[in-house]
Amino acid sequence: MAAYTCTSRPPISIRSEMRIASSPTGSFSTRQMFSVLPESSGLRTRVSLSSLSKNSRVSRLRRGVICEAQDTATGIPVVNDSTWDSLVLKADEPVFVDFWAPWCGPCKMIDPIVNELAQKYAGQFKFYKLNTDESPATPGQYGVRSIPTIMIFVNGEKKDTIIGAVSKDTLATSINKFLFSEFEVYENILLLLPIYTVRTLKRPGRDFKVKVALNKSMKCDSKSETVSSSSTSGSLSDPDQWTIFKDKDESEIMNPAILCAVRAGDKVSLLKRINDDVKVTQRLVDNQGNSILHIAAALGHVHIVEYIISTFPNLLQKVNLMGETTLHVAARAGNLNIVEILVRFITKSSSYDAFIAAKSKNGDTALHAALKGKHVEVAFCLVSVKHDVSFDKNNDEASPLYMAVEAGYHELVLKMLDTSSSPSILASMFSGKSVIHAAMKANRRDTLGIVLRQDPGLIELRNEEGRTCLSYGASMGCYEGIRYILAEFDKAASSLCYVADDDGFTPIHMAAKEGHVRIIKEFLKHCPDSRELLNSQCQNILHVAAKAGKSKVVKYLLKLDEAKRMMNEQDVDGNTPLHLATKVGYPMVVNMLTWNDGINLKALNNDGFTALDIAETMKDNNTYVLYKRLIWMALVSAGAPNGPNPIPLTVSQSSKQNPERYKDSVNTLMVTATLVATVTFAAGLTLPGGYMSSAPNLGMAALVNKLNFKVFLLLNNIAMCTSVITVMALIWAQLGDALLTKKAFRLALPLLLTAVVSMMMASVAGLTLVVSDLPWLSHLVLAIDSAFLVFLMLLIIPYAFSSTRHGFLRHIFYFPYFLMLLVVSEGSNNMDG
């Protein structure tokens, strides 16, 4: 790095920063204010930097050798499609490009910020403006969809993109990412300036601490192209004037005794153990990088905090491993007293604004930390002392305003928005994550009101998924928020009802998908024709509700006048709502649709499949799932046909792949039928009441003339006969023929049901017969057995008579089928309501 003698008087800001009290004063700087020296200065460089090293860092540093005695030029040059390659892609310096248009309001709001940054970073960055109306090719090439958009290019490559009217701090942060690191500049200083002495160099981890001082023995003048020491105040010979970077002290783990004293709030014990040496005390940290001030502030020890900041004020600027200051820690812990003390102390410093707005490694300010900890009073305090920190975004693009709106802190939101903001603050107020979406999520009418009164245009903003506030609210079930927007912003909101998101879903589609019936009613109330809307798959709202399994929405939509048209409408794949509900697997929805008189059960999709074809494909795979059988039962009982070219049945294929599946089922039914046959055969020989032992009726049943005996005998005989037939049918099923197995099942299941029910009814008749002398006991037995008999029939009938198409039987079997739906729906993902 070279040194110069500046003859012109530098600006006040530069004199203050470089501690220049008078001119001429020699200086060097790592800040790059100009790429060349002004001719009028009469200054010459002592060395040619390009001749010293071919290292890229040296050549980059070359632009940092400047004279800080001249103001930067104003005005930002223009780039267009024809000059883009030469000015931007082939530029040696990093390039900052502002894509704008004359009609763009936010572009005008951010323009003063860009001009200010262009002056601040002159020599370090090249700044250009591109009018997207006059040069549309370049924005199209780089995917610019909205303006203002900022892009940063380094060596011809796009490195960063910032969209929207963001704050000055956000743009400065992005720019600073592409400037020199401290150690990189220091390394080049060592290469270029061997005449200087390095006073301090420490390198714990990645922190580099550098202090460079002039060799006091140097005696130079401008003619010999050397540096002349000034005898005036603030001269270059003063080592304190040559702190290139902030002198951060090396950290060391604090003594456990000190740590315990701070945590316990024991000031007396702490004073005995800490060193009066400021530098030594400032180096003490725990294993998370927290200083003694961090720990005391987090635990709320007011007396220790007051002592530390008065004795060791530099600890206020110390950060832990997460980049958090003491204010971050106190705010996150919710210690309002500590926050007030820190703020009150720092107001005396020129670093007041920087201290309040300091960000951790995740981009959080102290206000972010307070809101994450739900400490509203601390947040009020911080907003009161520095209002515009409410709009600073963290790394997740969330501002404190967004967080307050999302959490529903109405009074805090009022405080944040209650100001006469400058243009730069207005530009950043609603940048980052959409505040209107956060207000919708909070479902607070009052918060929505104050946000939209501040900027009604927010109603048209979209989030990262392309959803408007109505679509987002419909997906979240924010009924009150949607109702408020539709009522208060009728014209603008009504147009948003027809706006689709990136997935092609309109707000009413999102409400149908998530099952929010009240929101659907509200949309239809303000926009009746929204029921006709189709998504990107040409699906109406009944398609979406059926595919998502929202039975309540389906039930409501089937009551509308357009129900017949909607339920038979086909999407881009030819699927009706019935096809989709069958394919995804929602038996409740399928059952509702099949009971509607207007349903077309013969509808074919683009694959030539009816809903029954799809159901049989699902039912015939190797995995037996009850909800698949319930869907198939609903379609068969409704009379749904197969298509003209039905899909091949896969029963035989499944049998070959897993023969044990049918063998086990046959064996289970055969054991059951055998037990019924055995029990009923034994009951037929041991009749209730026994046999007569005297002539002329020797060996005859004693209770043969009783009605209950006749009922018992008849039912017992039916149970025995049907169970025997079931056993024989199942013997045929074991022969291995898939078609024969299927038919044997169809025959055996109703017979087995008849046998089981008859056996139980015969048992009831026999028991009531033998206790007929005690009417109360007879009636009690009859009631208990009848209740269990009904429950048994509800469980078995849908399984045994699942394929009946008889209208009368379908109505009878509806009740046990619906009961099974309710039972299965508990805890099932395929039985959504």
* Residues acting as catalytic residues: 104, 107
Q: Are 122 and 33 in contact (CB under 8 A)?
A: yes
Q: Given strand 157-163, what is the order of strands in its sheet?
A: 126-131, 95-100, 149-154, 157-163
SS (H, E, C) 680-736: HHHHHHCCCCCECCCCCCCCCECCCCCHHHHHHHHHHHHHHHHHHHHHHHHHHHCCC
How large is the C-alpha radius of gyration of the chain? 42
Phi, psi of 252 (to 5 degrees): -145, 150
Backbone angles phi, psi at 831, to 5 degrees: -130, 55
Measured N-to-C along each axis, helices 707-733 and 738-770 cross at an angle, to the nearest 10 degrees, of: 160
In 3-state terms, what secondary structure has residue 36? coil
Q: Cα–Cα distance between 523 and 483 in angstroms, integer?
A: 9
233-260 in b/e form (b: 16+ CB < 10 A) is eebbeeeebbebeeebbebeebeeebbe
Non-local CB neighbours of 609 within 8 Å, separated by 6+ positions: 579, 617, 643, 647
- State how far the Cα of 210 lies from the Cα of 199, in Å rounded to an integer: 8
* CA–CA distance, 163 with 145 (Å, rounded to integer): 9
Task: Answer whether 761's CB lies under 8 Å from 790's CB.
Answer: no
DSSP 78: B
Q: What is the DSSP letter of 254?
A: P
Buried b (16+ CB within 10 A) or exposed e, 87-112: bbeebebbbbbbbbeeebebbbbbbe
Tokens matching residue 55: 């290292």
Which residue has 């800040």 as its token pair?
Answer: 31
Task: Output DSSP code: residue 265.
Answer: T
CA distance 126 to 116: 13
Per DSSP bridges, beta strands 126-131 and 95-100 are parallel
State how far the Cα of 726 lies from the Cα of 720, in Å rounded to an integer.
10
DSSP conformation letters of 127-163: EEEEETTT--HHHHHTT--SSSEEEEEETTEEEEEEE
Strand segments, DSSP code E, in 354-510 are none
**Looking only at Cα atoms, what is the longest distance across the chain?**
155
430 and 398 in contact (C-beta within 8 Å)?
Answer: no
Contact between 101 and 147 (Cβ < 8 Å): yes
Please give the backbone phi and psi of residue 157, each rounded to the nearest 5 degrees, phi first.
-110, 140
DSSP notation for 392-431: ---TTS--HHHHHHHHT-HHHHHHHH-S---HHHHHHHT-
Secondary structure class of 161 (helix, strand, coil): strand
Name beta bridge partners: 554. none
Q: For residue 657, count CB atoms less than 10 angstroms from its CB and return exposed for 0-12, middle for 13-18, buried for 19 or more.
A: exposed
Query: Could you give the angle at which helices 577-584 and 541-548 cross, rounded to 10 degrees?
Result: 20
Among residues 289, 297, 294, the alpha carbon closest in space to that of 339 is found at: 297
CA distance 802 to 587: 14
